[in-house]
Amino acid sequence: MASRLSQPLTIKLQLTLVFGALVVLASVVITWALGGMLRERVRTDAGRVLTLLAGNAARILANDLTINADMVDLLARREAVWTAGLDSPEAQRTLELIQATAPRTHLWVGVADAAGTVRAATGDLLRGQSVAQRAWFQRGQEGPFVGDVHPAKLLATLVPADRDGEPQRFVDYAAPVVLDGQRLGVLGVHASWDWVGEVVDTVLSTQARGSGIEIFIFDREGHVIFAPRGQSQKLAADGVRMPPLQGAGPAVATWHDGAEWLTAATRLPASRALGDLGWTIAAREPAETVFADVRDASRHALMVGVLAALVGALLVRFAAVRLGADVRRLSKAAREIELGVPGARLPPAASSAELRSLADALGRMTTRLMATQGDLERQVRERTAELEAANAELGRQARTDPLTGLPNRRTFDLQLDHALAAARRNGQPVAVLMIDADHFKRINDLHGHPVGDDVLVMLAGVLRARLRESDLLARYGGEEFVALLPGAGQGDALAVAQALVAAVAARRSAVYGQVTVSVGVAAAPPGEAITRTLMRRADEALYRAKAQGRNRACADGEGVADAGGASEI
């Protein structure tokens, strides 16, 4: 028995073992090379998507911050508001108007005198209390100011918790109130940090969330100030910081939870209104999810290689004479495939039919690997295109009118299509009001465009306050507004229009006096085939109201409803 074990192995057995080992090695090398190339391609494409998401979030955040800062600065410099004093009814109405532009975000709006005592505020919160030590008051005395996120202090027990049940945090906007060259005080707005969560929800599509993509925001020192799933303040208390990224682009980084995430980061753009807050917006996706297809393809390729090795080991026993030359050719081709030589492929074997079959099997394995790589790359490109298209559409829809804070015409047109379709399905009426400021050009010519802008802001506040929550008010262009009233018939819509005309005419300003509006009303009753001609009919009714003296509402196909007579402004 011992004598038989000491005998050398036969040439056939040796060739079988050696050739099988070479084929397995070639399979491993090919799998490793193709897997590495595919992994890099997937990382690049997925990183491009994360960079796009982080950039979109940064742009929307910067745009919203700038709009709010400009609005506070504009109203602080509007002398007509403060002429009667910081605690005058006009000042109080202005504070309420600021809050009405974003009631869920602007939780507190107030004005403090030069000594830091709150003279007027929405809901009378903090009235009579001192805010002299607060950063927004101190910095707001020097000029327009946008503060970094901070927890609520004086208002901690006076405002509700945020949408995740955590204590409120604020971003402050402030600007000095100056009248006749004398600084009277500071106008301040405390905006809820919930706003950031709404922006992130807008940027992330359902498909992105399904892939596990998340967005974080870090401050100038790298501390977390926003995290998904209501973890912001918990992670901040734990001292979580932004993980270091290797290189300038997206990279795989180990986060605070010990898991690896593909991460892309971008800085919040600085501007004249904001300065440089130093925020970093980071988008991440689990590395396990990103590279799952690569791992599956590599595992499959390795299994195919092992199977091919077993087949080759059986066939090589019958090809001992010309096996050496074929093995050398196959090894050379495997090295070329490993190096990524263009057009590299396994050559056919000439020594025997069995070895030729092995070479063909290996060739098919290579072809299948290449096909798998092509399929994965196509899937990645399709997913990238879908995410880019979805985020481009979200970015387009997220735009509002920067002056009044109302939805713009593009948003209104989209909502109108939805409302018309719902009316057809449910057999409900729907109405449209076309609202135009009378003699608005005269206001601009006499008082200047800044006063004209104040008039538009005033009109937006008055009109919005008179409409239902279910109604949609938008700035349609210039001095023209449009309102969508779902479920309203022509009689109800005309009554609403008359109330709007009266409400606007009742307002008086020390600067520009009285402003009036004309309203055109068009409605479609239940069951009628509703089309986009509804807008044209409302526009025609508006022209009739203008022709019949202004300061009135006119319904489509009916007479005129006068709200106090036509005033020539």
217: pLDDT strictly greater than 90: yes
**pLDDT category, 185, cuts 50, 70, 90?**
very high
The Cα–Cα gap between 303 and 298 comes to 9
Q: 415 and 502: one domain?
A: yes
Specify the amino acid at residue 407.
Answer: P
| Res 480: pLDDT | 95
| Average pLDDT score over residue span 261-286 | 86
**pLDDT one-digit tens code per residue, 145-168:** 998 888 877 776 777 766 666 778
Q: 436 and 553: one domain?
A: yes
Whether the CB-CB separation of 428 and 526 falls below 8 Å is answered with yes
Q: 481 and 446: one domain?
A: yes
| Res 503: pLDDT | 95
Q: What is the number of domains present in the chain?
A: 2
Q: 504 and 539: one domain?
A: yes
The Cα–Cα gap between 84 and 482 comes to 33
Torsion, Cα 226 227 228 233, to 10 degrees, reads -90
| Average pLDDT score over residue span 136-143 | 91
Domain boundary among 393, 419, 437: 393
The Cα–Cα gap between 372 and 204 comes to 29
> Which tokens is 206 given?
């359902």
Q: Which run of H or E residues covers position 52?
A: helix 11-76
**pLDDT one-digit tens code per residue, 534-543:** 899 999 999 9
Q: 545 and 503: one domain?
A: yes
Domain boundary among 393, 427, 447: 393
- How far does CA 147 lie from the centroid of its chain? 22
Q: 340 and 419: one domain?
A: no
**pLDDT one-digit tens code per residue, 226-257:** 888 888 888 888 888 989 888 777 889 999 88
Q: Evaluate whether residue 124 is within a structural domain.
A: no
Q: 415 and 549: one domain?
A: yes
Q: Evaluate whether residue 417 is within a structural domain.
A: yes
CATH label of the domain that carries residue 465: 3.30.70.270
Q: How distant, in Å, are the alpha carbons of 35, 463, 477, 502, 556 from that of 468?
A: 59, 10, 22, 17, 22
| Res 353: pLDDT | 66
| Average pLDDT score over residue span 268-284 | 83
559: pLDDT strictly greater than 90: no
Q: Mean of the per-residue pLDDT values for the chain? A: 82
The Cα–Cα gap between 312 and 300 comes to 18
**pLDDT category, 10, cuts 50, 70, 90?**
low
Q: Which domain holds residue 469?
A: 409-562
The Cα–Cα gap between 423 and 415 comes to 12
**pLDDT one-digit tens code per residue, 109-131:** 999 999 999 999 999 998 999 99
Q: 389 and 414: one domain?
A: no
371: pLDDT strictly greater than 80: no
The Cα–Cα gap between 418 and 421 comes to 5
**pLDDT one-digit tens code per residue, 412-455:** 988 888 888 888 888 889 999 999 999 999 999 999 999 999 99
CA nearest to 174, candidates 182, 183, 163: 183
Given the residues 214, 285, 354, 479, select the one marked as catalytic.
479
Q: Evaluate whether residue 188 is within a structural domain.
A: no
Q: 389 and 437: one domain?
A: no
The Cα–Cα gap between 42 and 294 comes to 8
Q: Evaluate whether residue 271 is within a structural domain.
A: no
- Which residues does 240 contact at the CB level (< 8 Å), separation at least 6? 223, 224, 227, 256
Q: 451 and 352: one domain?
A: no
Mark whether 479 is an active-site residue. Answer: yes
Domain boundary among 393, 426, 441: 393
> Which tokens is 389 given?
């298209």
Q: How distant, in Å, are the alpha carbons of 147, 168, 170, 179, 236 from that of 151?
A: 12, 6, 6, 32, 12
Q: 430 and 523: one domain?
A: yes
pTM of the model: 0.49
Q: Evaluate whether residue 275 is within a structural domain.
A: no
**pLDDT category, 564, cuts 50, 70, 90?**
very low
Q: Evaluate whether residue 74 is within a structural domain.
A: no
Q: 487 and 552: one domain?
A: yes
**pLDDT one-digit tens code per residue, 496-536:** 999 999 999 999 988 899 999 999 999 987 756 565 688 99
Cα 467–60–204 angle (5° rounding)?
95
Helix axes 323-339, 353-397, angle to 10 degrees: 10
Name the 3-class secondary structure at 171. Answer: strand
| Res 351: pLDDT | 59
**pLDDT category, 284, cuts 50, 70, 90?**
very high
484: pLDDT strictly greater than 50: yes
Name the 3-class secondary structure at 347. Answer: coil
Q: Evaluate whether residue 453 is within a structural domain.
A: yes
| Res 497: pLDDT | 96
CA nearest to 358, candidates 300, 317, 297, 298: 317
| Res 4: pLDDT | 53
**pLDDT one-digit tens code per residue, 296-343:** 766 776 677 667 667 766 666 665 555 666 667 767 777 777 676 776
Q: Evaluate whether residue 110 is within a structural domain.
A: no
Residue 269 per-residue DSSP state: P
CA nearest to 147, candidates 108, 116, 173, 178: 173
- How far does CA 76 lie from the centroid of its chain? 30
| Res 105: pLDDT | 85
545: pLDDT strictly greater than 60: yes
58: pLDDT strictly greater than 80: yes
| Average pLDDT score over residue span 51-62 | 90
* Residue percentage of the chain with pLDDT more than 90: 36
| Res 39: pLDDT | 73
CA nearest to 213, candidates 342, 331, 51: 51
